[in-house]
Structure 1
């Protein structure tokens, strides 16, 4: 199974993200229904018999509900050395998000997963770029939306998802919703 842990976005924020779509050749835009903030990717080939321990550990997470807003746009990789492959919207990261991330990371480690070796960079993926020669369009997009800011939305739960990759894009199925309660 392909599994990840994420925060869902409000419908109003998803609408705001839809408005950012631009005409960039080779851009594969994320479907509205697939917008999310990944807290932790667990892997592409997780045995189904590991689900009970994953669920048990995630249900032990204790964090308070909080509000989140999105701000600015960017790309991975950044810095211009390599062509952009991903367009994203940034997250105004309150301390409560870092606390939740830390709790989820501890739960994942307790469930037998390796520690994440990359720093937590909260973002929402908008598009994946297939053509490497669209620097001008990407640059225009980044300039046009650099001041983007969403309305704040409540975060009252996180979700364990399974993901199946299809030619039409990833299809996500929620396996567990964990309410935030401090």
Structure 2
């Protein structure tokens, strides 16, 4: 019987240096996988942050360009101004400009209105689902029959644009559209 017991009770011996090496390699593998996962996550976060910043910068540029075109008026070429008013706008907004063009001409022509603009800044106010609200600020120098010496004013355009529709501008208004009225805060 002792031979049978000896056969059943076999032992496996591993050198201590081999066990230590296997343990070290396992720890190194776990650390490498952990670092790779953390690196991939950080890269994704950075890429998302960079994409968000690029979208905001694009929205601000669209707003600044639009506001500059909308603030540059020469009564001798009002049609060019109407064209600039409609550049980059959604069809519904463009149609509103078409509908108001005759009334605006009746105001600008007799006044002999001229204005030039200098952009100051543009800031994204909010973003939700690709809809950006942006304020664009300009200094506008205007002359007219009533004020031939001209006047400089700071003008604010409040624009809403849709990134998902090719950055089309869907609304244009003044600062009153961006500031809550009394009692709605």
TM-score normalized by the length of structure 2 = 0.27
More helix by share: 2
Q: Which has the larger radius of gyration?
A: 2
Tell which has more relative contact order, 1 or 2 (C-alpha 8 A, sep 6+).
Answer: 1
Greater share of residues in strand: 1
